[in-house]
Amino acid sequence: MTLLAKTMTVINNYRQQNDTLPSSQLRRLGLVYSSYRVVINVFFLILAYANANANADNLLLPSLLQQTALIFYTLLSIILLGLFYVVQKRPQRQLSFGLAVDIIMLSLLLYSSGAPDLQLTMLYMVVVAASFMLLPGSQALVITLLAVIFVIYQQFFYALSSSISLANLGDALLMSASFLVVGFLTWTISQRLLHVEKVSAQQAKEVARLNDINQEVISQMINGVIVLDQQQVVLANRATYQLLDIDETNNELASFHEQLAHLHTQLLQTCLAVPAGQSRLFTYELPTTIEASIIARLRVQVIPLKDYSRLIILEDLRREQASAQQLKLASLGQLTASIAHEIRNPLSAISQASQLLMEEIDSESVSTDDASVRIAANSVDDSNFELYKMIFSQTKRVNRIIEDVLKLSKRQPPNKHSITLESWMVEFIANHFSGHDVFLSGKVQPLIVFDTHQLEQILINLINNGLRYSSLSHPHAYVEVEIYSRRNDVIIDILDSGKGVKSADIEHLFEPFFTTDKAGTGLGLYLSQAFSEANQARLVYVPEHEKTCFRLIIPAILTEQAIAESVDL
């Protein structure tokens, strides 16, 4: 009972595990087996004819039958090989037919020999093993049972025809049992190999998928990533090219390594100087120019890997600077807002009182009848009127300062959007400076990410300053706005024909409440720079330019993934 249960378990497992080779491998192995069939048949055909020639005087019927069967089998093998090579569809059916033909022809050869033969037995074994390797289990079992039936029937056929006794029946039964054993062992091994290959293919596919995901994640990271192995760069993501201002057109690691060694020799030497197995964190000062928006500093982290290579992470410090700027302005805004509200109330009273006094002077000068008294009163009132007018104008100036301070205190974190700058600039100038000579030139392709309201405030401040100072030097005031791309940046130049900024004033240009204009508040450029830094841009004054030039430098966004990451900041 136990043996029967084990047998049934094996049969059930056999039915469930019926994996076959992929079509490409089946064709490849099928061609090998078909070629093997042709070679074996040609060999036996030559051997049979050699024996026939040697015994030509005593040629017996079985020998003639064997030669005839071999000739037919050889021709059929060549035809099967040609069909298998030409017809690429359904290789499994072709193999099933060919293996069945093998069993039939080998049985015919076994019949011609009259008794079990070691050579034919080995060929049977090969056919049975090949069937379990190349065919589904059910078809392979049919081929094996067909071989068993032919071998046993051959012995009974000779016994019934009195050609031979049943003395060789035991050998035939042993041969048949060996067929089943070889088939079972071959099937077990083939199934195990197929399972291992299937698992290996799944794992390879999963590894490839994870590798693609890792490559995509690394390429879309905002931080730069470099992997150094034996002083050679083996990996560098897109952010690294942008942060280090390396040309990305030739996206080869050899070219990247050459540019890295040339442009950032100190960075490369410092990273290579870190002892193996140790990590290091340091700040790298980038070689910056006024024309480029490369950030001044990078945080560099060198991390050792298990294979003695180095992982280098480059972090853009503009994010921390922008966050610190936000915190600083938020705290400053709370303080200034409370102070501004306290100042605004008495300031409003002073402004209103000065207006009332000026109106009173006007009414008194009109109502007086005596000319001498009116003249004397007018002289006194004129001096008082000028004083009241001065008080009123200064209160208006202080009120403008308070309004700017309140704008600063109420400023929210930037609400960034992707902007196509060229079309946006045309609409902006038409909306805000339609009655002024503001000329736009240049073209840009990349997108930028910026808070549109803050970008408007920056450009309005800069263009208004340009128009005001240009009018002081020339009767025809105008401002030129140039937009263009440079490497990974989008540049906006605000140009005017004013006298420019004195060299002594350049370092104080973006400080709060610094102004050279008596009517100015000194907060316009300060706010513009604060808005720029909050959007990870830079606002600089370019003294080398032939005109008065303020330059807004904005990092270009080249991918949708980068846009999403920048907007989420």
Same domain, yes or no: 390 and 522:
no
On whether residue 247 sits in a domain, the answer given is yes
Of residues 347, 366, 359, the one with CA closest to residue 384: 359
Q: Give the pLDDT mean for 406-434.
A: 80
* Rounded distance between C-alpha atoms, residue 389 and residue 555, angstroms: 48
On whether residue 373 sits in a domain, the answer given is yes
Same domain, yes or no: 151 and 71:
yes
Q: Give the pLDDT mean for 356-372.
A: 60
Same domain, yes or no: 21 and 124:
yes
What was the pLDDT predicted at 559? Answer: 41
Which pLDDT band holds residue 377 (cuts at 50, 70, 90)? very low
Same domain, yes or no: 312 and 325:
no
Same domain, yes or no: 46 and 190:
yes
What does the pLDDT look like over 66-99, one tens digit per residue? 777 878 888 888 888 888 888 877 887 888 888 8
Same domain, yes or no: 161 and 233:
no
Q: Give the pLDDT mean for 430-457.
A: 85
What was the pLDDT predicted at 352? Answer: 77
CATH number at residue 230: 3.30.450.20
Share of the chain above pLDDT 90, in %: 4
What does the pLDDT look like over 254-267, one tens digit per residue? 778 888 888 888 88
Write the Ramachandran bin of 491: left for phi over 0, alpha for psi from -120 to 50, otherwise beta: beta
Residue 118 near residue 150 (C-beta atoms within 8 A): no
pLDDT reading at 482 higher than 90: yes
Span of 22-36, 226-240, 513-527 with lowest mean pLDDT: 513-527
- Structural domain boundaries, residue 180: 2-205
Span of 18-32, 178-192, 270-284 with lowest mean pLDDT: 18-32
Please give the C-alpha separations between residue 343 and each of 340, 354, 402, 477, in angstroms, as whole numbers: 5, 17, 8, 36
Q: Which among 267, 284, 316 is the end of a domain? A: 316
What was the pLDDT predicted at 477? Answer: 85
CA-only gyration radius of the chain, Å: 47
Same domain, yes or no: 497 and 511:
yes
Dihedral sign, Cα of residue 27, residue 33, residue 36, residue 40: negative
pLDDT reading at 421 higher than 70: yes
The total domain count for the chain is 4
User: Going edge to edge, which strands form the sheet with 538-541?
Assistant: 438-441, 479-486, 489-496, 548-555, 538-541
What does the pLDDT look like over 203-214, one tens digit per residue? 888 988 888 888
What was the pLDDT predicted at 60? Answer: 42
Same domain, yes or no: 177 and 227:
no
On whether residue 163 sits in a domain, the answer given is yes
Residue 487 near residue 366 (C-beta atoms within 8 A): no
pLDDT reading at 350 higher than 50: yes
Of residues 479, 483, 472, 510, the one with CA closest to residue 495: 479
- Average pLDDT over all residues of the chain: 76
Which pLDDT band holds residue 551 (cuts at 50, 70, 90)? very high
Same domain, yes or no: 111 and 8:
yes
Q: What are phi and psi of 411, to 5 degrees?
A: -65, 125
Same domain, yes or no: 113 and 161:
yes
Same domain, yes or no: 387 and 295:
no
* Rounded distance between C-alpha atoms, residue 292 and residue 246, angstroms: 12
Q: What are phi and psi of 527, to 5 degrees?
A: -65, -40
Strand partners, 540: 551
3-class SS of residue 509: coil
Per DSSP (E only), the strands in 3-70 are none
On whether residue 544 sits in a domain, the answer given is yes
Highest mean pLDDT among 317-321, 390-394, 532-536, 546-550: 546-550
- To the nearest 10 degrees (0 to 180), the angle between helices 524-534 and 371-410 is 10
What was the pLDDT predicted at 511? Answer: 77
3-class SS of residue 286: coil
Of 482 and 175, the structure prediction assigns the larger pLDDT to 482
Q: Give the pLDDT mean for 407-414.
A: 64
pLDDT reading at 114 higher than 70: no
* Rounded distance between C-alpha atoms, residue 519 and residue 5, angstroms: 104
On whether residue 148 sits in a domain, the answer given is yes
Q: Which among 361, 387, 410 is the end of a domain? A: 410
On whether residue 491 sits in a domain, the answer given is yes
pLDDT reading at 4 higher than 70: no
CATH number at residue 483: 3.30.565.10
Residue 175 near residue 116 (C-beta atoms within 8 A): yes
On whether residue 212 sits in a domain, the answer given is no
What was the pLDDT predicted at 30? Answer: 82
Q: Which among 171, 205, 239 is the end of a domain? A: 205
Residue with tokens 């080998």: 106
Beta strand pairing call for 310-316 and 538-541: unpaired
Same domain, yes or no: 65 and 161:
yes
